[in-house]
Amino acid sequence: MTLTELLKPTYRQMLQALALWLSKAEAQVDDSDALMAARLAPDMFPLSTQIRFTCVQVHEGICRLRHEPFPAAIERLLEEGRNGGDHPGTMAEGLACIDETLAFLDGVTPGALDAAAGRPLALELPMGLAFDLDGEGYARDWALPQFYFHLMTAYAILRNQGVELGKADYVQHMFAFLRPGTAPAG
């Protein structure tokens, strides 16, 4: 499996799941926009930031693997995310962010990330930490874990706030592979 074959569908299916969770929240909660300020703990970012940072991880991962500079969209999302506690925004804005990220993914051509697998990649973080990896190690050990951290924190916030979500909402993409006759009756 190549990096493009791993990352592009993984990002797509989980962003679509996140959009479904937010749509369920809109349908289940009287003031779904108020959820955007919800947190799991006082020192954690709110839901609005988790959504934005999930999207940032997609942009950042692809740009780093293509050895391209970050587009303005990443800086905008990071800034909005950092300020999410003061300006959480709306559920509609969160869904729009996901749609923009899915559109960005549509522009990733087949094989676009594959040459990066063995290429050196320097990951320098704002607090001064620096990591030297290759593209495969970056995808496995940083890009996907960071993506899933923010994605699952968003899921946990929604569940904590009473949105009815379950495992089927998390793995909705698996139903395309469901063997006929194996689903529970009812």
**pLDDT tens-digit readout, 107-149:** 999 999 999 999 999 999 888 999 999 999 999 999 999 999 9
Domain 3-177: top CATH class: mainly alpha
Q: Is residue 119 helix, strand or coil?
A: coil
pLDDT for position 143: 97
Whether residue 181 is predicted with pLDDT greater than 80 in this model: the reply is: yes
Cβ partners under 8 Å of residue 92, min gap 6: none
Whether residue 184 is predicted with pLDDT greater than 90 in this model: the reply is: no
Whether residue 186 is predicted with pLDDT greater than 80 in this model: the reply is: no
Mean pLDDT, to the nearest integer, of 25-31? 96
The answer to whether 166 and 30 have CB atoms below 8 angstroms apart is no
Chain centroid to CA 94: 11
Mean pLDDT, to the nearest integer, of 155-178? 94
Q: Is residue 102 helix, strand or coil?
A: helix
Mean pLDDT score of the chain, rounded to an integer?
94
Per-residue pLDDT band at 60 (split at 50, 70, 90): very high
Q: Is residue 41 helix, strand or coil?
A: coil
Smallest CA-to-CA distance from 58 within 91, 13, 117 is with: 13
- Reading the block at residue 98, the tokens are 């996901």
Q: The whole model's pTM is what?
A: 0.93
34 φ, ψ to 5°? -65, -25
